[in-house]
């Protein structure tokens, strides 16, 4: 008998509405989603279907308007903004399409600083190890402007995984890269997420990339249209 992995995400009837009155938009219209530890899941769907909005809520960057959400053992529906920030720390890593590195910090500092802020011991050594693991051991003291797009995204991957998060989220992580560089970055993301034992949730428009995940969830107009093994 195979045992069901314990859920790291349990979302029920999640809704997101923005604006009020005439301008009110229903962005998510009741999302039920349970994700087990170590799963790899792709979120697909047309532009505007709510993928990034759902990712922002599941990763604690935004609060849902309604429903319940538990992530890595924390009840995200009862936490205020500070509480969410604290709950994210060490639990959740995020990689976005735009790399969002701090331009005045070196690659090493970009990875080490969040670890230092979180009070983790050995931040510099851990950051150096993470950067070496993404093939950037020779670029530690380069600034983002001195790195290619693919290298910058590797730094962002190292930064996201350095705190050893339970869940890694990526929103179109190869969207700003040419095809070959995107493939290499995708390979690295899958490999590093697996090595870290992290649950991996990927938002993408790329069917081939999504097919590398164990499970594919399709959104349409703020609802889950299908949810199946890849
Ligand atoms: N801050 C906001 N205020 C109002 N509407 C918003 C806001 N953010 C997103 N939306 C709307 O919510 C809907 C879902 O947006 P979202 O960014 O989640 O879509 P997406 O599936 O990620 O699309 P894409 O594939 O283009 O990235 C869209 O109709 C968008 O216009
Ligand atoms: Mg999006």
- Residue segments in the chain with a per-residue pLDDT below the cut of 50: 1
Task: Supply the CATH number for residue 172's domain.
Answer: 3.40.50.300
pLDDT score, position 5: 58
Q: Report if residue 119 sits inside a domain.
A: yes
pLDDT score, position 3: 53
Q: Where in the sequence is the domain holding 117, given as residue range(s)?
A: 38-62+88-229
The residue whose CA is least distant from atom 17 of ligand 1 is 52
Q: Please choose from 29, 48, 222 the residue to mutate so as to test ligand 1's pocket, defined by most ligand atoms within 8 A of CB.
A: 48
Q: Report if residue 76 sits inside a domain.
A: no
Q: Report if residue 11 sits inside a domain.
A: no
Q: Report if residue 110 sits inside a domain.
A: yes
Q: Please give the distance, rounded to the nearest whole angstrom, from the Cα atom of residue 30 to the centre of ligand 1.
A: 16
The string of DSSP letters for the chain reads -PPPPPEEEEEEEEEEEES-GGG-EEEEEEEEEEEETT-EEEEE--TTSSHHHHHHHHTTSS--SEEEEEETTEETTT--HHHHHHHHTTTEEEE-SS----TTS-HHHHHHHHHHHTT-TTHHHHHHHHHHHTT-TT-TT--GGGS-HHHHHHHHHHHHHTT--SEEEEESTTTTS-HHHHHHHHHHHHHHHHHHT-EEEEE-S-HHHHTTSSEEEEEETTEEEEEEE-
Tell me if 49 CB under 6 Å of ligand 1: yes
Tell me if 47 CB under 6 Å of ligand 1: yes
The residue whose CA is least distant from atom 3 of ligand 1 is 18
Tell me if 50 CB under 6 Å of ligand 1: yes
Q: Report if residue 214 sits inside a domain.
A: yes
Nearest in space to 157 (alpha carbons), one of 141, 168, 144: 168
pLDDT score, position 57: 96
Atom of ligand 1 at shortest range from CA of 54: 18
Q: Please give the distance, rounded to the nearest whole angstrom, from the Cα atom of residue 124 to the centre of ligand 2.
A: 33
Q: Report if residue 3 sits inside a domain.
A: no
Q: Report if residue 115 sits inside a domain.
A: yes
pLDDT score, position 4: 55
pLDDT score, position 89: 87
Q: Report if residue 72 sits inside a domain.
A: no
User: Count of domains in the chain?
Assistant: 1
Atom of ligand 1 at shortest range from CA of 49: 21
199-203 and 25-36: which strand pairing?
Answer: unpaired
pLDDT tens, 155-213? 999 999 999 999 999 999 999 999 999 999 999 999 999 999 999 999 999 999 999 99
Tell me if 18 CB under 6 Å of ligand 1: yes
Indicate the average pLDDT of the chain: 94
pLDDT score, position 39: 96
């Amino acid at each position: 008998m195979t045992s069901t992995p314990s859920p790291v995400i349990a979302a029920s009837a999640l809704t997101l509405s923005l604006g009020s009155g005439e301008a009110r938009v229903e962005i998510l219209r009741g999302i039920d989603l349970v994700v087990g530890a170590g799963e790899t899941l792709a979120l697909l769907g047309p532009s505007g279907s709510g993928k990034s909005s759902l990712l922002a809520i599941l990763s604690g960057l935004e609060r849902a308007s309604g429903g319940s959400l538990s992530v890595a053992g924390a009840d995200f529906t009862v936490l205020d903004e500070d509480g969410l920030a604290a709950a994210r720390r060490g639990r959740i890593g995020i990689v976005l399409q735009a790399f969002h590195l701090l331009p005045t910090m070196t690659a090493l500092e970009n990875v080490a600083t969040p670890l230092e802020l979180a009070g983790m011991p050995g931040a510099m050594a851990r950051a150096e190890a993470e950067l070496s693991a993404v093939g950037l051991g020779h670029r530690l003291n380069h600034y983002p402007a001195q790195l290619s797009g693919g290298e910058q995204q590797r730094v962002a991957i190292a930064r996201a995984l350095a705190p050893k998060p339970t869940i890694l989220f990526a929103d179109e992580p190869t969207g700003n890269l040419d095809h070959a560089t995107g493939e290499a970055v995708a390979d690295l993301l899958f490999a590093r997420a697996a090595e870290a034992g992290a649950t991996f949730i990927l938002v993408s428009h790329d069917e081939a990339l999504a097919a590398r995940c164990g499970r594919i969830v399709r959104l349409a107009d703020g609802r889950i249209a299908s949810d199946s093994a890849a």
